[in-house]
Amino acid sequence: MAKALHCPICKKLVPVDSPDVPFCSDRCRVIDLGKWASGDYKISSPILDPDLLEDLEHAEQQRHPVDEGKFWKN
């Protein structure tokens, strides 16, 4: 006598000899995979753009040459 499981996605009964066990279908398997993938790839903190940091450093250097010249003459 074949047993049956409940599909974790749609709760339909799935025969244990189904090729998609524990899912009722390939569609529910894909939905479950999608849930895991979206959890894994969720980014909680912003990523700093290295190019943007470089631009900020250049802007900082361009502001100082005059001040540094004064400093070294004294």
Positions touching Zn ion (CB under 5 A) are 7, 9-10, 12, 24, 28
Q: What is the 3-state secondary structure (H, E, C) of 19-55?
A: CCCCCCCHHHHHHHHHHHHHHHCCCCCCCCCHHHHHH
- Which residue, 5 or 9, is less far from Zn ion as judged by CB? 9
- Which residue, 10 or 56, is less far from Zn ion as judged by CB? 10
CA separation for the pair 71, 64 (Å, rounded): 10
**Least distance in Å: CB of 23 to Zn ion?**
5
**Least distance in Å: CB of 55 to Zn ion?**
50
- Which residue, 2 or 47, is less far from Zn ion as judged by CB? 2
CA separation for the pair 64, 48 (Å, rounded): 24
**Least distance in Å: CB of 5 to Zn ion?**
10
